[in-house]
Every structure is written in structure tokens, then in C-alpha cells.
């Protein structure tokens, strides 16, 4: 992860007005605002978040701020620019670094920081980042947070307040495709449907379960087709036949592998 302070070149004190975080593997940007961010001093586009009291700016709006500071991909001479910068393709991050975030519209620029240089108030937010998420039935998520808390989040009320999420209520299969946002900033369905980590933490109800408990359950209670055959004392072909005839239901099936609950296999063993 690369970290930069966003500063105003016209400010003699060179204060940190915001922080830009870049996750290289995913090519995702996030911007963090100080707790006491002044909307009048905060860079344009980000000031609206400061007014709303939102301090972690999601990847969509963070990337939009970055794109405002670099040459656009539809620039007439973009290929020549990329060639001069030794870039094989359009890439926001090296384009941003080329001028360290400076552009003609204002005096803001980027100053590199190490992780240890982030303010404690920003570091504390990382405790609420999402470590894992499991979709449940009826619009609920089981969310594991970095601080060790596990919460069950009923999102139906949230969906009613945000009509754009209506597609998730109408299509349970789509809801089950929930993914963690890069860096654990929340969960997402595609590029536009996102729920922030702090919102999930507020919505959710804590349950007495730790992430390690869940991992142990997966390790100890989920088996593949070969393990299922060994447990039932039969061949993998017979396991496949049980699945085809509906006598055994896998929890997940693909061309390469099929997974079963160990308890389902034991029940079949008891009844055979």
C-alpha cells in the first residue's frame, strides 16, 4: 500500500488536508479525511464528504478525484504522453505520480508517507475494516471485523432507505455475490453498490463468535468429494451418483470440485 498526504502548496504550514491510500494489487484509491476536516480547506469534490461528516471516501469518488488531476484517457495525444512516460497502457497511478498530484486548477500536491506516519485517528479506523463476509438468507450478512467483532447485519431496512439497492432484494443470487471492498473498506456488489465498514458496524448486531471459530468450522466440517467418498466408504463415482439422483446435496459444486457438509454425510452414514 502506498500512502500520501494531500497538501496545499499555498499553505506555508504545509498541513495534511487529507490522505490518499493506493492498493497496488487491486489498483484502488481511497481517501481519508481528518476527523476535524474543514470543508472550506478540503480539496474540491472531497469537501462535500467533510460537510456530511464522512471521513473515509469510497474508491469510486477517490478515483474520480485522482482522475481530475491527471491527463484524461481520451486526450488526443494520449499515446504520445504514455510513450514519453514509458507506459504501455493508461494507468492512473504512475500518471498521478508524474507530477505528484499537481494540476493547473489548484495548488494541491502529494507528499509520500510511511504507514507509521498516518495520524492515530486514521489508524483507529482500520480497526473497523471488514476481514470477511458471508451472505446469509433474507438480506443478511455475517461480517467479520478487524477488531475481532463478528456482527449479523440485516440490510433490508438499509435497502428501503437506498432504492438503488432494490436489485439485491429482487435477485437473491446477486445478493450472494457480495464481495469485500479492497482494503476491507466495506462490502460491494459491483462498482457502484457499496456499503461502508462503519455503516455495517452500526447496523450489525454482535454475536458471540470469533473469526477463528468460523475458520475452524470450515476446516473441520466441510469436505471435498474424495473425503466424502472415504467417509462413506464408497467411490467418487458413487458420490457423483448420489448427487445426480438428489440423495446427497453439496453445499458448493463446480466442474473441478464439490464440497459437502460433514454432518450431511454422517446422517447418510447413520441411515445406511
Domain 129-209, architecture per CATH: 2-Layer Sandwich (3.30)
Alpha helix (H) ranges present in 88-185?
92-98, 120-125, 156-161, 166-170, 172-175
pLDDT in tens, 149-162: 999 999 988 998 99
In eight-state DSSP terms, residue 55 is: -
Q: Which CATH class is domain 212-271?
A: mainly alpha
The confidence score (pLDDT) of residue 256 equals: 79
Instruction: Read off the pLDDT of residues 100-152 as tens digits, 9 standing for 90 and up.
Output: 999 988 999 999 999 889 999 999 999 999 999 999 988 999 999 999 999 99
Query: Full-prediction pTM beyond 0.75?
Result: yes
What stretch(es) of the chain map to CATH 3.30.2020.10? 129-209
Burial class (CB in 10 A: 0-12, 13-18, 19+), 44: exposed
**CA 268 to centroid of chain Cα atoms:** 39
Q: Please, where in the chain does CATH 1.10.1660 lie?
A: 212-271
**CA atoms of 263 and 147, how far apart (whole Å):** 31
Q: For residue 272, what pLDDT is reported? A: 59
Dist. CA 225–CA 22, nearest whole Å? 41
Instruction: Give pLDDT tens digits for 204-256.
Output: 999 998 888 888 888 888 999 999 999 889 998 999 899 999 989 998 888 77
Q: In this predicted model, what pLDDT tens digit does every residue of 76-102 receive, in sequence order?
A: 999 999 999 999 999 999 999 999 999
**CA-to-CA distance for 214 and 212, rounded, in angstroms?**
5
State the average pLDDT for the chain: 91
120: Cβ contacts below 8 Å, ≥ 6 apart: none
CB 93, CB 27: distance < 8 Å: yes
Amino acid at each position: 500500500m502506498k500512502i500520501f498526504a494531500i497538501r496545499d502548496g499555498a499553505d506555508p504550514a504545509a498541513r495534511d488536508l487529507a490522505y490518499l491510500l493506493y492498493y497496488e494489487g487491486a489498483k484502488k484509491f481511497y481517501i481519508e479525511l481528518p476527523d476535524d476536516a474543514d470543508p472550506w480547506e478540503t480539496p474540491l469534490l472531497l469537501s462535500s464528504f467533510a460537510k456530511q461528516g464522512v471521513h473515509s471516501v469510497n474508491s469510486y469518488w477517490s478515483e474520480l478525484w485522482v482522475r481530475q488531476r491527471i491527463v484524461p484517457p481520451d486526450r488526443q495525444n494520449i499515446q504520445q504522453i504514455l510513450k514519453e512516460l514509458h507506459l504501455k497502457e493508461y494507468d492512473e497511478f504512475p500518471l498521478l505520480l508524474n507530477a505528484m498530484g499537481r494540476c493547473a486548477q489548484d495548488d494541491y500536491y502529494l507528499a509520500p508517507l510511511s504507514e507509521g506516519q498516518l495520524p492515530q485517528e486514521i489508524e483507529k479506523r482500520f480497526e473497523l475494516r471488514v476481514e470477511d463476509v458471508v451472505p446469509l438468507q433474507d438480506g443478511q450478512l455475517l461480517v467479520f471485523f478487524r477488531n475481532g467483532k463478528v456482527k449479523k447485519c440485516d440490510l433490508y431496512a438499509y435497502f428501503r432507505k437506498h432504492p438503488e439497492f432494490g436489485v439485491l432484494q429482487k435477485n437473491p443470487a446477486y445478493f450472494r455475490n457480495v464481495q469485500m471492498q479492497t482494503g476491507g473498506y466495506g462490502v460491494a456488489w459491483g462498482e457502484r453498490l457499496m456499503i461502508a465498514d462503519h455503516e455495517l458496524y452500526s447496523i450489525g448486531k454482535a454475536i458471540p463468535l470469533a473469526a477463528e471459530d468460523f475458520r475452524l468450522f470450515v476446516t473441520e466440517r466441510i469436505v471435498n468429494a474424495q473425503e466424502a467418498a472415504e467417509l462413506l466408504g464408497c467411490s467418487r463415482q458413487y458420490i457423483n451418483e448420489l448427487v445426480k439422483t438428489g440423495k446427497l446435496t453439496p453445499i458448493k459444486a463446480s466442474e473441478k470440485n464439490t464440497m459437502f457438509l460433514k454432518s450431511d454425510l454422517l446422517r447418510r452414514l447413520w441411515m445406511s
